[in-house]
Amino acid sequence: MVESAPSAARSTPIPSPTEVRMSAAPADDSKSDVITVRSPRDGSVLAEVAKTPVSEVAALADRAREAQSEWAALPVAERVQRMKNIRNRWADRGLELAQLLMKEGGKSEAEALTSEVLPSLNLFDYWCKAAPGFLAREKVALDPLNFPKKKGFVDYEPLGLIALVTPWNYPSSIPLRALVPALLAGNAVLWKPSEFAPLTGKMVHEIFAPDLPAGLVALVQGDAAQGEAVIDARIDGVSFTGSAATGRSIAKRTAERLIPVSLELGGKNAAIVLDDADLDRASAGVVWGALANGGQNCAAVSRVYVVKGAAAEFEKRVRARLAQVKSGPDAGEFFDVPPLISARQLDRVAAQVDEAKGAGVEALAPGGKQGDAGNWYAPAAFKQPGDALSIVREETFGPAFTVTTVDDEAEAVRRANEGEYGLSASVWTRDLQRGERVAKRLDVGTVTVNNTSFTPVITNAPWSGRRSSGHGTTNSHRALFEMVKPRFILLDWNKGSEFWWFPHDESLVTLARGLLRFLTAGFSNKLAGLPAALKLLPARIKAISRPVV
């Protein structure tokens, strides 16, 4: 059990969020009550993690609700200070976290530090500085003529208990995008990390726990059964990052209860290389954007559309850069492309690559499994694949991409907008104004000009999708406002009746008609008609001022 600072909410004991057995012995994968954690690098067993019994999830949710009342009662400044403590603990354990991401996720140390540990410090800093302003009482400006002797304001209250279901590809940084703003807003969180990253989930929970009421962040370990139990618990909102299929299932499960849902789903992201692009930068950016984290990134470049004037030279540079990429079990400590998270994910990528090869598509890089142990897969890239193949239509989530020559900018935009996903895209050009014009024609949530695949780490910029890429937002104030309930309060010190109150008689109709003529007239006619409109008021005032008794 994670020890926490004393608080009233800790009087109810709670079970340890995760029981972990570390063992080098062969695992029994038939066990239904544990998660067997295997190294993506060599397939060895790292640990067995006890699954949270499905029967206990509802109780964890109830305890989180109890803790939430205490947490929400704290001043925002106090919640911020505790989050700063958590941030400092994150920094202190940063190298330890990176080592765990390397073991459990197969990442290189460079990838673990630059994509998860370091950007997350910026995330903590942003929210600790910005959240108090976003959560402060907001004054609503009221027109004194239409609404005399009145003032209004909005207070923001926490939703309550937010269900958080997160993936394995960035298992520490993605959860923070919801955990940190949700907690600062005063919520509790029922969190199920991926079954492929339970050890990372446990460490993140340990980093948060000492400064929170016990049970406020309830950790649920397991697979689909536990995920369903989390969604079916007595929750007030959902933040989910994962596949479109699971996102649709969650949307259906929550629709009947009218529970708000934020869905950050998949992508099939296009890069458009225009004929005036800096091809050195474009080729470097595309290869990195496609292969970073082994392509296991919803923002990864999957499809490249190159205007024909630049195609031959771009392909030449891509081939050269692919030849320099380091991957596989013999690549040493400083590899570029990590192994895939699981044998199942490797099989999925291999199926798309093998289909392209079977169709006779020319390969810029052939791909293929590397080594006997682990889930290493060499980068694959294909030229002119057409539109029928799964590697073009479906999310790959692996180190594979396609390069297609198009006639012009218009065709590139059209092809980029095809398909069911609408998460992100990139445009490569020396003309930034042209790049911006193209960006505005792309039906996606994020467009980068002369860069790619990194903006989710910009905490004050929204990250959202369209169509099968989901809806809702992570990052920026827009994400926070999905985790609170606004309450508008109006104060009125007017002592008389409002002109629209009863009785609904001739005086009201006459006044309303006069106001309609006045409001729809031109400026000069307004001035001329103002005296006539004002003459209608006394009759209405008399009508609403008659004593009742």
- 3-state secondary structure (DSSP) of residue 184: helix
Q: Report whether pLDDT(473) > 70.
A: yes
Same domain, 342 and 388: yes
Residue 30 lies in a domain: no
From 79-88, 144-153, 225-234, 353-362, the region with the lowest mean pLDDT: 144-153
User: Considering the domain boundaries, does residue 403 fall inside one?
Assistant: yes
State the catalytic residues.
264, 298
Provide the number of structural domains found in the chain: 3
The 10s digit of each residue's pLDDT in 410-441 is: 999 999 999 999 999 999 999 999 999 999 99
Give 20's pLDDT tier (boundaries 50, 70, 90): low
Contact 445, 468 (CB under 8 A): no
pLDDT score recorded for residue 30:
56
Least confident stretch, 341-350, 473-482, 501-510: 501-510
Do 251 and 273 lie in a common domain?
A: no
pLDDT (mean) for 151-156: 98
Q: What kind and span of H or E run contains 138?
A: strand 138-140
CA-closest candidate to residue 526, choices 536, 516, 538:
516
Average pLDDT over residues 228-240: 97
Residue 109 in this model has a pLDDT that exceeds 70: yes
Query: Both 229 and 273 in a single domain?
Result: no
Does residue 13 surpass a pLDDT of 50? Answer: no
d(CA 339, CA 328): 7
Residues 246 and 162 reside in one and the same domain: yes
Cβ–Cβ contacts within 10 Å for residue 139, how many? 10
3-state secondary structure of 270: strand
Q: Is 237 a residue whose pLDDT tops 60?
A: yes
Q: List CB contacts of 95: < 8 A, sequence separation 6 or more.
A: 117
Residue 333 has pLDDT above 60, yes or no: yes
In a domain, 42, yes or no: no
**Rounded to 5 degrees, what are φ and ψ at 506?**
-65, -35
Over residues 198-209, the mean pLDDT reads 98
Q: Which of 445, 465, 487 is the last residue of a domain?
A: 487
Residue 10 lies in a domain: no
Q: Identify whether residues 304 and 261 lie together within a single domain.
A: no
| Residue 424 located in a structural domain | yes
Same domain assignment for residues 92 and 68: yes
| Residues 293, 253 share a domain | no
Helix (H) or strand (E) holding 153: strand 150-158
> Would the pTM count as exceeding 0.85?
yes
Q: Across 340-475, where does the E strand assignment appear?
A: 362-369, 377-383, 400-406, 421-422, 424-428, 446-449, 466-467, 470-471
**How does 66-83 read in b/e, with b if 16+ C-beta sit within 10 Å?**
bbbebbeeeebeebbebb
Are 303 and 206 contained in the same domain?
A: no
Percent of the chain at pLDDT exceeding 90: 84
Task: Report whether 530 contacts 495 (CB < 8 A).
Answer: no
Give the strand pairing for 466-467 and 421-422. antiparallel
| Structural domain boundaries, residue 80 | 54-265+478-487
Q: How far apart are CA 346 and CA 376, in angstroms?
A: 8
> Is residue 215 located within the same domain as residue 318?
no
Among residues 344, 349, 250, 253, the alpha carbon closest in space to that of 300 is found at 349
364 and 398 in a single domain? The answer is yes
CA–CA separation, 537 and 521 (whole Å) = 19
Q: Is the pLDDT score of 104 beyond 50?
A: yes
Q: Are 252 and 147 part of one and the same domain?
A: yes
Beta bridge partners of residue 161, listed in sequence order = 188
> Quick one: average pLDDT of 494-509?
88
Q: Can you give the pLDDT at residue 31?
A: 67
* CB distance 35 to 223 below 8 Å: yes
Lowest-pLDDT range of 82-91, 226-235, 514-523, 529-538: 529-538
Residue 2 has pLDDT above 70, yes or no: no
